Amino acid sequence: MILPIAAYGNPVLRKVAADITPDYPGLAELIENMFETMHKADGVGLAAPQVNLSIRLFVVDGSPLKDTDPLLEGYKRTFINARIIERFGDEWAYNEGCLSVPGIREDIMRPAKIKIKYFDEKFNAMEDIFDGMRARIIQHEYDHIEGILFPDRVNPFKRRLIKGKLTDIAKGKVDIHYKMNFPVKKSVIF
Nearest-CB residue for Ni ion = 98
- In whole angstroms, how close is the CB of 164 to Ni ion at the nearest point? 20
**Which residues within the stretch 78-107 sit at the binding site for Ni ion (CB under 5 A)?**
98
CA distance 91 to 13: 25
**Which residues within the stretch 118-157 sit at the binding site for Ni ion (CB under 5 A)?**
none
- In whole angstroms, how close is the CB of 29 to Ni ion at the nearest point? 22
DSSP letter for each residue of 43-60: -SEEEGGGGT--BSEEEE
Residues in binding contact with Ni ion, number by CB under 5 A: 1
CA distance 54 to 48: 6
CA distance 30 to 11: 21
Quote the DSSP letter at residue 109.
E
- In whole angstroms, how close is the CB of 115 to Ni ion at the nearest point? 22
Question: With binding defined as CB under 5 A, does residue 116 bind Ni ion?
Answer: no
Phi and psi, residue 37, nearest 5°: -65, -45
141 as an active site residue: the answer is: yes
Q: Which residues are identified as catalytic? A: 141
Binding residues for Ni ion, rule: CB under 5 A, are: 98
